[in-house]
Amino acid sequence: MSRLTAPTRRAARRAPSRVSVRPYRRSDDAGLSAVCLATADEGRDGSALYARPSLPGEVYALPYVRFEPDLCLVVDDGTREGGVSGYVLGTSDTAAFEDWATRAWWPGVRSRHPVADQEPGSADARLAALAASPQPTARAVVEAYPAHLHVDLMPHVQGQGLGRRLLEGFMQHAHGAGAAGVHLGVSTGNERAVGFYERLGFEVLERTERALLMGRLLP
């Protein structure tokens, strides 16, 4: 086992971190999709779940940066594809996003990933079905919390305050775009994420056996 001397440890603590938070760039698309897949199993690596590894990103990441790219912030550590090790993305206007996606995004996903081509009961089938029959968010939720977001971090950049920075940055931009509130979905099994959102002021709006819908008024 290697050890650091005391002076070396102090120097290491002073060394600047390579990890940064920056605005999204179009060249980040592959990195966004890679992180989405690597966190697709309730925050854990979902690679083994999907025969079509691009599907999670096509459902939960890429449509948002096509519709409202200015709301996406990226955690860049320079080590993964494109440097992307985490992100926050979403929309300030869920109703407008869903209308756009119905016309301009989901038809392409359906053509690339037909429900009939997926293994019944698989993770691929579940996401293909979402693209085939997207369900609008409840009107009461959209009226009170018009923005919504997705945030994902790779394990090696967690515990550094980056999740809070991402969400605070997103909420600031969404509020500036006119959103009075923001909502998100989280698995009931992801207790760490639920606690994180609660500490940031999110409250449970709806609860099912598998998921929570949480919301927070802005600012």
Q: Give, in order, the Cα–Cα distances in Å from 216 to each of 127, 145, 148, 149.
A: 27, 7, 10, 12
Query: What is the mean predicted confidence (pLDDT) over 127-154?
Result: 97
Q: Give, in order, the Cα–Cα distances in Å from 156 to each of 18, 60, 76, 97, 162.
A: 12, 21, 12, 32, 11
How confident is the model at residue 17, as a pLDDT?
Answer: 57
pLDDT digits (tens, 9 = 90+) for 174-195: 999 999 999 999 999 889 899 9
What domains are defined for the chain? Answer: 17-217 (3.40.630.30)
- Confidence (pTM): 0.89
